[in-house]
A and B are shown apart, each in its own frame.
Chain A
Amino acid sequence: MQGIIQWATQAVIGLVVGLRSTWRTLLEPKITVLYPLQRVNVSPRWHGLLALPIDPETGNDRCIICFQCERICPDRCIHIEAEGKGKERYLTRFDIEIDKCCYCGLCVEVCPTEAIVFVPHYETSTYNRARLLYSLSDLHQAAPKEPIARGVVGGVRG
């Protein structure tokens, strides 16, 4: 009997202590982000979508068709095809299967001209899986409008 009373008292004390913490938390400032209305400030390094930004000097992307990103990709989701010879070579296909991509950033790391970059954008859900194959024009569009300065990727980026 003695034990039961002691146990019950302990349980009640435990409940009161727990509820005290609950009440204290209730009065603290809230940390919930009301997502569609408010947004979290995503870090500049965030591995969001991949994009090919347009260089304002040339009016085209900076890809030199070295196939390094295609070779390093662990998921083999980048497909590049090019036509022409020497300096006249141009891209005919630059597809990223964004549904296969694992956002590891190895392609961004190996790119010698910073042609392929991460953009802090993440809202890409879709009803149709075929829309997840991003072609060259999609990747151009995904890039931010203002040009990204050279030398910021993979080094001193903040």
Chain B
Amino acid sequence: MALRTEELILNMGPQHPSTHGVLRLIVTLDGENITEVHPDIGYLHSSVEKMLEHRTFAQGIALTDRGMDYLTALANEEVYILAVERLAGIEVPERARYIRTILLELQRIASHLLWLGTFGIDLGAFTAFLWCMRERERVMDLFEAVTGGRLHHVYFRIGGVYEDLPEGWTDRVLEFCDYFLQRLPEYDELLTGNPIFKVRTQGVGVLPREVAIAMGASGPVGRASGVAYDVRKADPYEVYDRVEFDIPVYTEGDCYARYLVRMEEMRQSVRIIRQCIAQLPGGSIRARVPLSLRPPKGEVYVHTESPRGDLGIYMVSDGSEKPYRVKIRAPSFSNLYALTEMMRGWKVADVIAILGSVDIVLSDVDR
């Protein structure tokens, strides 16, 4: 006689210490195995696309910091400002472009460090969290010295940046780069070679290449599945075409590969920062742009590589001082739906490991 079984529906979130925000996962379980995952989003919908229609182009910068992915405030400013600059045809001074690139890469390091720390907590390695936060505080200090903000900066302006770098800042950044490269092997010691960590991540949550492409997964999630696509190489913006760096690509597509991709990306970021500082030209930092900028009628799509993936913005201008329509293509949104494919068939204990490895930010998903 066959044993009678029935499916169990498990709710995770919105308040859950490991959902990285306010995500609700409706997990259908067959015993211990996951048959289906349905993410319920919208708990952090801040209607930023609508709000941007009511802000002038200059005011919108302050909003993109907060309304979009809050861990990568500068990457949001960057994509918004690139869109406005391409609409209005503004030339940005060389120095400003280098400064932007340095700050964007520092932001990538800060974002990945936070991911590594929280991923460590999810898998029971609390030490990783404390160490990552220690390094992250140094990046925050560097940001604070330049932009005046720790998390939200409002530093990029249409046609340049707000203020010039303070004196001696580049030396501090180089010092941080040396320090950071010394610290990274410690994480390798702690996590990369750790058998407990490996057992929980290797081969878990595999996302095949075809599914990754079909789901639109980008960034480290896509690159871990063998999609060698990085906007910095494919469609260079700022000065990424003048610096040398490699894109780490793995074909395994599991949590461990996603971890390795991000670790390698941090090393590459340090490489980019060093080259940018060596090439940093002098001169002006901001083009003359009227405060009430009225770009000509038209539309533009710009995409950049944020730490989560391919972050795009579609902007329509009707010739007034406010955008007519703004649509944000959020990388976390696509990656979240790739999650449903990754989780199918795994045990309920792996939900946290898989969710942690994708690195979604709910503010980016819901906007």
Contacts and interface: CB of A to CB of B under 8 A. Distances in A.
What interface size band does chain A fall in? 20 to 34
Interface string A1-33: 000000100110110011001100100000100
Interface stretch (B145-153, B241-249, B357-365): B145-153
B149 A102 contact: no
Contact of A43 (B62, B134, B148, B195): B148
Contact of A104 (B137, B154, B194): B154
Given A14-B195, A14-B196, A31-B134, A72 B163 contact: no
Contacts, number: 82
Nearest to B144: A43
Contact of A154 (B55, B163, B190): B163
A75 B55 CA distance: 10
A10 B195 contact: yes
Interface stretch (A91-99, A105-113, A127-135): A105-113
Nearest to A75: B62
Given A45-B145, A45-B147, A45-B166, A21 B62 contact: no
B84 to A, nearest CB: 15
B195 A46 contact: no
A67 interface: no
Contact of B149 (A17, A25, A47, A158): A47
B283 interface: no
A145 interface: no
**Interface on chain B toward A: helix, strand, loop, or mixed SS?**
helix
Contacts of B195: 7, 10-11, 13-14
Given A11-B196, A74-B55, A106-B154, A17 B66 contact: no
Contacts of A118: 148
Contact of B193 (A17, A31, A43, A45): A17
A10 B196 CA distance: 9
Contacts of B167: 158
Contacts of A13: 195
Contacts of A72: 58-59, 291
A47 B154 CA distance: 10
A43 B291 contact: no
B62 A102 contact: yes
A150 interface: no
Nearest to B137: A31
Contacts of A45: 144-148, 163, 166
A43 B154 contact: no
A56 to B, nearest CB: 26
Contacts of B152: 102-104
B32 interface: no
Contacts of B193: 14, 17
B127 interface: yes
B144 A21 contact: no
B207 interface: no
B162 interface: yes
20 contacts: A7-B195, A14-B196, A18-B127, A18-B189, A43-B141, A43-B148, A45-B166, A46-B149, A47-B149, A72-B59, A73-B59, A74-B55, A74-B62, A103-B152, A106-B58, A106-B59, A106-B154, A118-B148, A156-B164, A158-B167
Interface of A: 7, 10-11, 13-14, 17-18, 21-22, 25, 31, 42-43, 45-47, 72-75, 102-106, 109-110, 118, 154-158
